[in-house]
Amino acid sequence: MTPQEAITEIAALAQPGKAAEMAAYHKVERLYLGVSNPDIDRLCKDWRKAISLQERLELAAGLWDSNIHEGRVAAAKLLTQARIRPDDSGAWELICRWVPEFDAWAVADHASIAGQKRLVWEPSRLDRVEAWTRSENMWSRRAALVMTLPWAKKPNPKPEDLQIRERVLGWAAAYCDEQEWFIQKAVGWWLRDLSRRDPERVRVFLADHGDRMKGFARREAGKYLSE
Q: pTM for the full model?
A: 0.96
Which one of 104, 125, 146 terminates a domain? Answer: 146
- Along the 227 residues of the chain, how does pLDDT read in single tens digits? 999 999 999 999 999 999 999 999 999 999 999 999 999 999 999 999 999 999 999 999 999 999 999 999 999 999 999 999 999 999 999 999 999 999 999 999 999 999 999 999 999 999 999 999 999 999 999 999 999 999 999 999 999 999 999 999 999 999 999 999 999 999 999 999 999 999 999 999 999 999 999 999 999 999 999 85
Overall domain count for the chain: 2
128 and 188 housed in the same domain: no
Nearest-angstrom CA–CA distance, 125 and 35: 33
- Which residues form the domain of 199? 148-227
102 and 18 housed in the same domain: yes
